[in-house]
Amino acid sequence: MEQQPQTEVLDAIAIQKILPHRYPFLLVDKIIELTPMRRAVGIKNVTQNEPFFPGHFPGHPIMPGVLIIEAMAQTGGVMLMDSQTQPGGKLMYFTGIESAKFRKPVRPGDQLRFELEMVKFRAPMCKMTGKAFVEGVLVCEAELSAAIVDRE
């Protein structure tokens, strides 16, 4: 039987129960769709108050591509870690990026929508594809690899 997506919103508080990230490095504001170990859709509201904008770039703020990828990985991390019986005792280590493409700059006021799909899972490793959209336009895509490890 195919799993139905969970459409309940996970807000930042719920995400913090799954991921160890905190300000200024928690880069996903909410999860709007979740099918454990299959698919996750996350949202990041990009504001002028982001700590990276003063230096990237003064007078021409653009969200760094590596942070778009990190936010994408965090969305995938929720999909992966939400299925763990004791996520508090585990961490997800980001292990690889392949075929990353940045198609359009992300600026203050944009809302990023991350769509992650699980490609392969063989414990403790997984591979996911991710896409980031702003107003329905693809701005970034990549294949991401990760591992689940015990928290020490």
Domains of the chain, start order? 12-150 (3.10.129.10)
Using the predicted structure, report yes or no on whether residue 2 has a pLDDT greater than 90: no
E strand segments, the chain: 30-35, 39-45, 90-102, 111-122, 125-134, 137-150
Amino acid 46: pLDDT: 98
Q: What is the pLDDT of residues 20-77, one digit of tens each?
A: 999 999 999 999 999 989 999 999 999 999 999 999 999 999 999 999 999 999 999 9
Q: Please report which confidence band the pLDDT of residue 7 belongs to, taking 50, 70 and 90 as the band edges.
A: low
Using the predicted structure, report yes or no on whether residue 8 has a pLDDT greater than 70: no
Amino acid 83: pLDDT: 74
Amino acid 31: pLDDT: 97
Amino acid 89: pLDDT: 82
Tell me the C-alpha distance between 85 and 59, whole Å.
Answer: 46
Number of CB atoms found within 10 A of residue 45's CB: 12
Tell me the C-alpha distance between 19 and 16, whole Å.
Answer: 5
Amino acid 36: pLDDT: 87
pTM of the predicted protein model:
0.93
- Positions marked catalytic: 56
Q: What is the pLDDT of residues 92-129, one digit of tens each?
A: 999 999 999 999 999 999 999 999 999 999 989 999 99
The closest alpha carbon to 71, from 8, 6, 17, 139, belongs to 139
Amino acid 88: pLDDT: 72
Amino acid 45: pLDDT: 98
Using the predicted structure, report yes or no on whether residue 12 has a pLDDT greater than 70: yes
